[in-house]
Structure 1
Amino acid sequence: MSDTTPAPVDETDPDTIDAAPADGFRTDDVDDEREERDETSFALFEGDEGRLDEPQRRALVALLRHTYVSTRTHADEWRAITDGEHQLRSRLNDLFLELHVDRDREVAWKRQARSESQRRAFPTLLRDVPYTREETIVLVWLRMRLRADTRPGLDQVVVDRSEILGHVSGFLPATTDRTRDEARVAKAVERLVTARILIRTTDPDRFRVASVVEVLLPLEQLRELDRWLTSATTDRGEPTDGGDPGLPADPTDTDDEGETDA
């Protein structure tokens, strides 16, 4: 007896079958991958392959341009640093730089990376400009003023230009040229304003002292420099530019013009 059972018929419409690519990946998988890549891309211009979002990039530029970034000087950039500290630290490390973040004082700054073995010198993008004698004297004095102030809050100490000049004069020989000294102190003040260590107020002869000076001049180094300045004055000697024991140079590339505060 013959088998009259009809053979199974494939009713699938051949036009609806997805043709699998030769490499085994489906075209919709490729589209999904492209969409995922587009969603996570931080491209801001044609050909941009950066992996930081725009706020993080602005924070990175601020760190490179300025002596420091704080919640007072760059509020948006400071938030980006605290939110993306790992990513920004990685980008700075690629440039042989270290990122330091003080969350208590709300300030971040960069430093040149040093080889642990001391046998390898890393290239640097920073200008290593040592502080002058007058700048060193002013910085030590500003740091002491901050230590003596007990008021809460940041950047509360205000100093006058005449106070700065009077303090520096105490470390100079009596026969020194006063006009020349005043010019040097004025130049020192302007550099510290540019570095935002002194913050302009509405009075051109009054400045707020940025709390960041506590970071730039740790207590132990403050004591060392104070001993050296006192010894130099007692011996009637003149400190060399930058300080004999060595006040850290200001390794920065900045065109920051300071800020005005009421």
Structure 2
Amino acid sequence: MSVETHPETGPELGSEVESEVESDVQDIDLVDDELLDELLDEHSVSLFEGDEGGLEYAQRRALVTLLKQRFISARTHPRDWRVLVEHERLLRSRLNDLFLDLQVDRAREVAWKRQATSETGSRFPTMLYDAAWSREETLVLVHLRDRLRAGVASGDARAFVDREDVVRYVSSFRPSHATDVAGDEKRARNAIAGIVKAGLLIGTGSEERFEISEAVEPLIPLELLQDLLAALVAANDTEVPSGPDDTADLFDDEADADATATGDRAEEQ
């Protein structure tokens, strides 16, 4: 998972979207990882001197990936996904020990963590921090979810979007009194870069075209996007665009009930 905050550049949206690991851990070197796979007994739970852990190497690797990444999926982390599916209860238990809750969407083959909340509503100690999406990032996510659902409805296995298409959508929400066109466009492009870094936009052979991650829908639930978009429209005194980018369908689909249920609206610190 990305460990960067998402600074607020617009009105207070009241949105905690993702929890991030505070420690700045470097990515595991894939070559070393593959070498370890070959050298270590996959069923051994003693991996170093004094090791009193109870997980096998593959299970530990999946746990670390869950802690470091915003999400894992069958496509982005196939080995870890297979381990998670096979040992979901065990990995869920380890995350629970850290006051974290494991969320799994088996239909879309995506898993992610969120901060657990006690039955009384009080906050547990946390190793995560909350970061709200910026105004522009929120609009990008609204557009991506819309495009993803449109692609699924059309029977497409994968959904794609062009950078300029996203920039135009974000600009359609520019308040009538806004005059810093260049600054607004720069913020829109920075928002796209942030979503790419978060793993919700996947690069293709072209720098101007991206594939939309299947994780967008379960990670960004419908209810949250409805509230965020309403707040943006009210704050900017604008109307939801009509025509090709009409977001009406985004908020009018019985199937969205499942998406809302599987997503997480975590609370602000």
Give TM-score scaled by structure 1 length. Answer: 0.70
Please identify the structure whose Cα radius of gyration is greater: 1
1:130 and 2:118 aligned: no
Q: Which of 107-116 and 174-183 deviates more?
A: 174-183
Hey, what does 1:61 align to over in structure 2?
64
Hey, what does 1:141 align to over in structure 2?
143
Distance 1:65 1:98, change over 3 A: same
Of the candidates 149, 159, 165, which is equivalent to residue 167 of structure 2?
165
Distance 1:63 1:153, change over 3 A: farther
Contact 2:160 2:210 in 1 (8 A): yes
Q: Which SS does the other structure have where 1:176 is aligned? A: coil
Contact 1:99 1:111 in 2 (8 A): yes
1:176-231 alpha-carbon deviations (Å, 9 max, x no partner): 31221122112211211111111111111111111111102223333333434444
Distance 1:153 1:248, change over 3 A: same
| Counterpart Cα distance in 1 of 2:156 and 2:145 | 16
* CA RMSD after TM alignment: 2.5
Of the candidates 53, 73, 98, which is equivalent to residue 76 of structure 2?
73
Hey, what does 2:203 align to over in structure 1?
200
1:227 and 2:230 aligned: yes
Distance 1:235 1:153, change over 3 A: closer
Distance 1:220 1:181, change over 3 A: same
| Counterpart Cα distance in 2 of 1:115 and 1:132 | 28
Total equivalences in the alignment: 202
Distance 1:144 1:211, change over 3 A: same
Of the candidates 78, 91, 95, which is equivalent to residue 94 of structure 2?
91
| Counterpart Cα distance in 2 of 1:68 and 1:152 | 25
Contact 1:131 1:250 in 2 (8 A): no
Hey, what does 1:100 align to over in structure 2?
103
> Which amino acid in the other structure matches residue 193 of structure 1?
V
Contact 2:224 2:265 in 1 (8 A): no
What percent of counterpart residues are identical? 49
Hey, what does 1:260 align to over in structure 2?
none
Q: 5+ unaligned residues in a row in structure 2: which ranges?
A: 1-42, 240-263
Give matches, 1:201-216, under 5 Å. 201-216=204-219
| Counterpart Cα distance in 2 of 1:193 and 1:235 | 27
Q: 5+ unaligned residues in a row in structure 1: which ranges?
A: 1-39, 237-246, 252-262
Q: Which SS does the other structure have where 1:127 is aligned? A: strand
